[in-house]
Every structure is written in structure tokens, then in C-alpha cells.
């Protein structure tokens, strides 16, 4: 099987990146990670790229042309799919259009519920009984593209932001690989 070339965008810890790298070791997994992009020099997740000899590129997003710098790298590396994993910058419509291929994102709620930031806090405040995570296609609206995979868990009364985050992220490490398998099985 010829694996697709993926680029993972991160801003922070990169635990989803770590889990995806782990999955790429499986012969049947449809992607390899050929590039990691971060908008944050201090993102701990860059370490996973280093450890696994994956080329990485940190871009200063205060620069006006930062998206064209990213696009250049992506084109040079012949990237087939972008996976956002905790990337805290919104991609412009222009970027999405110019890349022209699938961009996925993972969000820690059962979308369309609780788009945007402070998700766990909103879930607890709203006394939700269930929550989960969603892998979706990125479009020009925040957390709004086509849903590929969704996984659900129960929210208990004793749950806190920390416990919800812990449980949801464990789900995410299964949801993202599943979404990639689903996408490339049918394409
Ligand atoms: C994930 O929980 C994801 O849902 C959200 O950002 C978090 C990133 O975590 N978009 P990590 O950097 O992969 O550890």
C-alpha cells in the first residue's frame, strides 16, 4: 500500500501527534507523517517530531505572509492531507482553498455542541450527561465541517475539567486514526 503523506499542525503538547505517529508504524495504516508544523516555538509536541526524525517547521504567525510560508513547505513536501491536532490558529479561507485537499481537525466535544474554546468548562457548566470528541473536515467556519468520526462518553457528576480532559483525550487517540482509515478506505 502506498501511504498518503500527512502534515500535522500543533500548538501545544502534541499528544494526538504522538498517538498518530504510533499508528503510522502499522503497515496497514493509510498515512505517514512527513511534516509537522507548529506556530509555537515552545510547543512540547515538537519533541515527538524530533524523536521520530520527522521534519518540522515552526512559523512565526505574526508575520503577514505566514500562511504562504506554510503552503510552500506543504507543496514542497507533497502533502496529501493536513491533520490539525491542537493547532490554535484559524486557517484562512484562502489557505484552505489553495491547499485544495482535505484538512481534518479534532475537537473535544460532540459537535455541533460546544464549538470554540473552553470546551470542558462549558460542558460541565451546562450539566451535560454525555460528551466526547469529533474529527471533522475543516471548512471556512469554526468547528463546522463534515463530521467523519464521533466518539461518546458519559459525564458524571463528580467530573472536573481535568477528568473530562483526560477521558476525552483517550478517546481522541482512537478517533483520529479511525477517521483517517475511514477517509482513505473510501477514496
Ligand atoms: C485536543 O484535545 C484537541 O481536541 C484540541 O486540542 C487538544 C490538543 O491536545 N483541539 P494535544 O496537543 O494533542 O495533546
Does 43 lie in the same domain as 1?
yes
Which phi and psi (to 5°) does residue 35 adopt? -160, 145
Does 72 lie in the same domain as 7?
yes
Which residue range(s) make up the domain with 2? 1-101
In terms of pTM, does the model score above 0.85?
A: yes
How far does residue 13's CA lie from ligand 1's centre (Å)? 8
How far does residue 108's CA lie from ligand 1's centre (Å)? 8
Ligand 1 proximity of 144 Cβ (cutoff 6 Å): no
Does 7 lie in the same domain as 88?
yes
Count of CB atoms within 10 A of residue 106's CB? Answer: 24
Picking from 73, 101, 129, the residue at the C-terminal end of a domain is 101
Provide the pLDDT for residue 186.
56
Does 134 lie in the same domain as 45?
no
Does 156 lie in the same domain as 71?
no
Does 128 lie in the same domain as 39?
no
Catalytic residue among 22, 107, 136, 158: 107
> In sequence order, what are the residues at sequence separation of 6 or more whose Cβ sits closer than 8 angstroms to the Cβ of residue 176?
16, 19, 20, 83, 85, 104, 106, 135, 149
Does 50 lie in the same domain as 22?
yes
Provide the pLDDT for residue 63.
83
Picking from 68, 101, 134, the residue at the C-terminal end of a domain is 101
Task: For residue 112, say if its preceding peptide bond is cis, omega within 30 degrees of 0.
Answer: yes
Residue nearest to atom 6 of ligand 1 (CA): 86
Grid coordinates of 127: 450539566
Number of helical (H) and strand (E) elements in the chain, helices listed first: 6, 7
CB 102 within 8 A of CB 82: yes
The residue whose CB lies within 8 Å of the most ligand 1 atoms, and thus the one to mutate among 119, 172, 175, 179, is: 172
Does 116 lie in the same domain as 97?
no
Average pLDDT estimate for 160-175: 98
Average pLDDT estimate for 163-167: 98
- Is 178 a residue whose pLDDT tops 90? yes
Does 115 lie in the same domain as 86?
no
Which ligand 1 atom lies nearest to the CA of residue 16? 13
107 flagged as catalytic: yes
Reported as a pLDDT band with limits 50, 70 and 90, residue 185 is confident
Does 166 lie in the same domain as 119?
yes
Query: What is the CATH classification number for the domain harbouring 50?
Result: 3.40.50.170
**Beta-strand pair 4-10/56-58:** unpaired
How far does residue 120's CA lie from ligand 1's centre (Å)? 12
Beta bridge partners of 6: 33, 81
Provide the pLDDT for residue 28.
94
Picking from 53, 69, 101, the residue at the C-terminal end of a domain is 101
The residue whose CB lies within 8 Å of the most ligand 1 atoms, and thus the one to mutate among 17, 104, 108, 136, is: 108
Amino acid at each position: 500500500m502506498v501511504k498518503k503523506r500527512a502534515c500535522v499542525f500543533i500548538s501545544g503538547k502534541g499528544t494526538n501527534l504522538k498517538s498518530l505517529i504510533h499508528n503510522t508504524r502499522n503497515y496497514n495504516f493509510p498515512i505517514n507523517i512527513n511534516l509537522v508544523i507548529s506556530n509555537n516555538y515552545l510547543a512540547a509536541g515538537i519533541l515527538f517530531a524530533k524523536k521520530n526524525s520527522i521534519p518540522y517547521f515552526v512559523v512565526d504567525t505574526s508575520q503577514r505572509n505566514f500562511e504562504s510560508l506554510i503552503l510552500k513547505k506543504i507543496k514542497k513536501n507533497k502533502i496529501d492531507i493536513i491533520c490539525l491536532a491542537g493547532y490554535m490558529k484559524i486557517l484562512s479561507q484562502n489557505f484552505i482553498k489553495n491547499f485544495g485537499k482535505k484538512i481534518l481537525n479534532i475537537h473535544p466535544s460532540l459537535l455541533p455542541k460546544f464549538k470554540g474554546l473552553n470546551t470542558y468548562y462549558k460542558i460541565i457548566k451546562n450539566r451535560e450527561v454525555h460528551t466526547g470528541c469529533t474529527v471533522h473536515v475543516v471548512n471556512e467556519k469554526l468547528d463546522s465541517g463534515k463530521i467523519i468520526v464521533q466518539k461518546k462518553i458519559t459525564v458524571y457528576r463528580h467530573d472536573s475539567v481535568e477528568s473530562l480532559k483526560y477521558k476525552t483525550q483517550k478517546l481522541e487517540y482512537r478517533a483520529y486514526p479511525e477517521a483517517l482509515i475511514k477517509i482513505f478506505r473510501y477514496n
